[in-house]
Amino acid sequence: MPKKETDKYWDPVLETLPPKKMKDLQFKKFKRIVEWAYLHSKLYRRLYDDAGFKPEDLQRWEDISRVPIVQKEDYRQAQAKDPWPYGDSLCVPLDDVTEYHQTSGTTGQPVYQPDTWQDWEWWAETWAYILWAQGFRKSDRVFIPFGYNVAMASWASHYACEKVGCEVVPGGILNTEERLLKIKELKANAIMATPSYIIKMAETCKKKLNIDPRELNIKKILCAGEPGANIPLTKKRMEDAWNTKVYDNAMATEVGGWGFECTSQPGGLHVNEAFFLVELVDIDTGDPIEELHIPGKIVITTFDRYAQPCIRFDTKDISMWGKPCECGRTFRILKGGVHGRADHITKIKGVLFNPLSVEEVVRSTPELADEYLLEVKEEDAAEVLILKVEKRPEVSLSREALEHNLARQLRLKTNLAFRIEFEEYGTLLRPEVKVQRFKDLRLKKVRG
């Protein structure tokens, strides 16, 4: 039956499945992909044999936590073997691969990502859940302001838009001003981009084109690729600048688009549990966490993607379970979305520190521009935290007063002292894609 614009769910059965039935479905799918990987992937067979695990050991739900966790580094090592470029991680004949992508490489050598045509249709289908939940419909004209290349996100969102029936405008090649003018000319009513670029576009629109972004009548913005849309004050800055709704999402090249915010904006992400098993595990012990509001590391299994399976993948991201959403979907909620990376959470002067907490303070200070840079380094054997910010030119408050307020707020939030340095307005980098605002320059990094 064709979908109607007013339909609430992309799949009304799966999105409202009672939790017990969902668990049964997940366990069946989990077993199936583990058996597939053990049979077809030398990487997984090696990993499981080394740990003394066999697929037939999976008898009940609790056995899932016995399955060895796979790391990004395992893919890298498997891909260093023949046949090039996917080596031991490929589960299908090389000729069946139709899509090549790769991870961004921000944490080392990129992981190559093969997909078959069936896998690629799976991408569009899983992303369609995201788009539908955020109100994307046939009547929308969606602008994607990036040049697509070997990265996954723009391609996946593009094809999903087509599947849902939206009209898609690929905005590659153009610079930021030209993209904004194209949005205006075509009356595009939705944008997909990283939070950094959404902020940069709004600034460029005001400063270079002398146009208030609110006049462009953007109805919704889909954000992905980095934190921002899950930080309430950053989200508010974006929503105010464009006078629109901004929706957070979570995806990874190796995993898929696994988490999304719905139009009810419950303060977190729905996990698409029909296609992914998301587990939270204790950062140190690896024990499963089922209780609400306890931070844990996100471990994900992708059920229905076959060329390079992703089974109990260590995302190194942190989150916590939250209360059910009022939209009616039974897909569970990760409160606050992805809180940051486990390997960025570190001890400074003996205090556990999450760099994202600084973003909340910067965004809640209206005198500051949106960009900032955070560094931790050693000076005379002592650890120093340095926050580089820009004061907005129209602000009359003195730097000293601003510095004082900021230092106080940061101390309250993090229990740490910061050195605050002011950069000239507009000189901190305004990046388009994934941005690394925290630099740990200490010789010996300390894990939390």
Contact footprint for Zn ion (CB under 5 A): 262, 264, 325, 327, 329
> Would you say 264 or 398 has its CB closer to Zn ion?
264
The least distance separating Zn ion from the CB of residue 129, rounded to whole angstroms, comes to 11
Query: Closer CB to Zn ion, residue 264 or residue 427?
Result: 264
Q: Provide, rounded to whole angstroms, the least separation between the CB of residue 133 and Zn ion.
A: 7
> Whose Cβ is closer to Zn ion: residue 78's or residue 130's?
130
CB 227 within 8 A of CB 338: yes
By C-beta, is 22 or 211 nearer to Zn ion?
A: 22
Minimum distance from residue 331 beta carbon to Zn ion (Å): 8
**Shortest separation between residue 425's beta carbon and Zn ion, angstroms:** 39
Separation CA 263–CA 121 (nearest Å): 25
User: For residue 309, what are its two tokens?
Assistant: 């399976």
Distance CA 195, CA 115 (A): 27
If the CB atoms of residues 312 and 329 are measured against Zn ion, the closer one turns out to be 329
Q: How far apart are CA 448 and CA 446, in angstroms?
A: 7
Query: What sign does the CA torsion over 121, 122, 124, 128 have?
Result: positive
Can you tell me which residue has the tokens 């050991």? 57
- DSSP assignments along 97-117, one per residue: EEEEEE---TTSSPPEEEEEH
Q: Taking the mean position of all CA atoms in its chain, how far away is CA 257?
A: 8
Task: Please report how close the Cβ of residue 446 comes to Zn ion at its closest, in angstroms.
Answer: 38
Query: CB of residue 300 vs Zn ion: minimum separation in angstroms?
Result: 20
Among residues 307 and 327, whose Cβ is nearest to Zn ion? 327
DSSP annotation of 325? P
Q: How far apart are CA 76 and CA 368, in angstroms?
A: 41
Task: Tell me the CA distances in angstroms from 403 to 50, 289, 398, 409, 428, one per residue in order.
Answer: 55, 40, 9, 10, 18
Distance, CA of 30 to CA of 66 (rounded, Å): 13
Q: Which residues pair with 288 in a beta bridge?
A: 281
Cβ nearer to Zn ion, comparing 72 with 245: 245
**Residue 200 has which token pair?**
């940069």
Minimum gap (Å) between residue 263 Cβ and Zn ion: 8
SS3 300: strand
Contact 278, 34 (CB under 8 A): no
**Which residue from 130, 150, 326, 141 is spatially nearest to 222, judged by alpha carbons?**
130
What is the rounded CA–CA span in Å between residue 366 and residue 421?
17
Total residue length of the chain = 448
To the nearest whole angstrom, how small is the minimum distance from the Cβ of residue 9 to Zn ion? 10
Nearer to Zn ion among residue 85 and residue 267 (C-beta): 267
Least Å from the CB of residue 16 to Zn ion = 11
Smallest separation (angstroms) from Zn ion to the CB of 292: 16
Instruction: Label the pairing between strands 220-223 and 245-247.
Output: parallel
Q: Which lies closer to Zn ion via its Cβ, residue 8 or residue 40?
A: 8
15 vs 390, beta carbon nearer Zn ion: 15
53 or 260, CB closer to Zn ion? 260
CA distance 88 to 86: 6
**Exposed (0-12), middle (13-18) or buried (19+): which is 268, by Cβ within 10 Å?**
buried
Residue 317 Cβ vs Zn ion, minimum distance, rounded to whole Å: 20
User: Would you say 274 and 256 are in contact if contact means Cβ atoms under 8 Å apart?
Assistant: no
